Amino acid sequence: MEPRLNLFGSPVVAKALGHYGAAAPVLIKESTVPTATQNLVMLRASQINGDGYATDVHGKNAAHAGETATRLNLVAAWREATVFTAAERAVLELTEQGTRIADGAGGVTDEAWANAAEHYDEDQLTALVAFIALINATNRFAVINRQRGGDYQPTHAG
């Protein structure tokens, strides 16, 4: 199945997506959130949102960056896994609640926020909120447009 639209075929949308897409490299390169944590956020939100393309991209990029197959395979079941640190578990909970806003009353709970704040400073929490918001928006572009996963190949730049 092919994507419904070439989103970059529209000059206006291509320009907007270019600006939008410029945010990710800034967050990835300049945030002090560990790369492995960034990858977990992007992978988990993409799984929840049913974005096959982003799940493919972020899973392969994480593996390319040295993430283990065991951890990647257990991201969707992180509560029942022993391979994630307390900080990673806190950010996975924050990611899930921030992604499933419509599923819960009130969005992210104070408990989930406090747990994340035990492990990340204010600058990191701000970056994590931006990561979660950005990947959720990106997922929606792909899901609405039916971007399929499976063919992505990571490069050295990842």
User: 99-126 pLDDT, tens per residue?
Assistant: 999 887 778 999 999 999 999 999 999 9
- With beta carbons less than 8 A apart as the criterion, state whether 146 and 4 touch: yes
- With beta carbons less than 8 A apart as the criterion, state whether 43 and 62 touch: yes
Distance of CA 12 to the CA centre of its chain: 26
Q: Parse the chain into domains and list their residue ranges.
A: 10-145
How far apart (Å, rounded) are the C-alpha atoms in residues 129 and 79? Answer: 21
How far apart (Å, rounded) are the C-alpha atoms in residues 4 and 146? Answer: 6
Instruction: Give the N- to C-terminal CA distance of the chain in Å, as an integer.
Output: 25
> Which CATH number does the domain 10-145 belong to among 3.40.50.620, 3.40.50.2300, 1.20.1290.10, 2.30.40.10?
1.20.1290.10
pTM higher than 0.75, yes or no? yes
Encode pLDDT of 66-80 as tens digits.
999 999 999 999 999
Residue 77: how many CA atoms within 13 Å on its side-chain side? 6
Confidence of residue 2 (pLDDT cuts 50, 70, 90): confident
